[in-house]
Amino acid sequence: MSGQFEPKIAGFFCKWCTSAGADLAGTTRLKYPPNVIPVTMFCSSRVDPQYILQAFRDGADGVIIGGCHPGDCHYQAGNYKTMKRIILVKRLMQQMSIDEGRLRLEWISAAEGGKFARIIHEFTEEIRNLGPLQLAQAVAPGHGAKG
């Protein structure tokens, strides 16, 4: 695989739907790329926008968030909160010249193992096409740079 860019993707999946969907993808032996590092959260609304920004800063080329379909949130309305936050974070990314396609929000239920595998395929390829994010940290020039 030398020479090919392998995207690093952080995944934040809600425990009740998307994580269960990921389990189903696994137990049904569906294949999908290994590029996503999944973190299970209790709810997609538990994904603090700080986590998304920190993931990008710490080397993630893409971030995917998975929650329950609208109307299906285990906590009634968490996913609606998530949707609003993700729209705003994407606006922020536009201003910071980070392609908003690097952040994706998907509703994947516990029954949608196939959808989980397909989305991970799709997103991995999209990020592969976008290339490495490479958010370099600036350092003040000159002697004794603390950085």
Partner 1 sequence: MADKLKVDSGSRLRFGFYWAASCGGCEIAVLDVNEKILDVVANADILFWPVAMDTKYEDVRAMPDGHMDVCFFNGSIRNSEAKEIAQLLRKKSKVLVAFGSCAHHGCIPGLANLHNRREVFDTAYHREPSLDDSAGTEPKTKTRVKEGDLSLPEFFDHVFPLDRVVDVDYYLPGCPPPVPLILNAVTAIFEGNLPAKGAVLAPVKALCDECARNKHVAKKMPDIRRTWEIQADPEECFLEQGIICMGPATRAGCETRCINGNSPCTGCLGPTPEVTDQGAKMISALGSILKVDAEKEMSEEETKALLDKVKDPVGTFYMYGLASAIINHRRGK
Binding site residues, partner 1, CB under 8 A:
45, 48-50, 52-54, 56-57, 70-71, 77, 80-85, 87-89, 91-92, 95-98, 133, 135, 138, 140-142, 144-147
2 versus 97: smaller Cβ distance to partner 1: 97
CB of 109 to partner 1, least distance (A): 17
- Rounded Cα–Cα distance for residues 32 and 13 (Å): 16
Q: Which is nearer to partner 1, 25 or 119 (CB)?
A: 119
Going by C-alpha positions, the residue among 44, 41, 43, 23 that lies closest to residue 32 is 23
Q: Which residues pair with 9 in a beta bridge?
A: 36, 62
In the complex, minimum distance from the CB of residue 122 to partner 1, in angstroms, rounded to a whole number: 18
Q: Considering the complex, state which of residue 22 and residue 133 has its C-beta at the smaller distance from partner 1.
A: 133
Q: End-to-end alpha-carbon separation of the chain, Å?
A: 34
CB of 70 to partner 1, least distance (A): 7
Token code pair at residue 61 = 């080329």
Helix axes 18-27 and 113-130, enclosed angle (nearest 10): 100
**Comparison of 85 and 104: residue with beta carbon closer to partner 1:** 85
**Shortest distance (Å) from residue 13 CB to partner 1:** 18
Instruction: Confirm if 25 and 111 have CB atoms less than 8 A apart.
Output: no
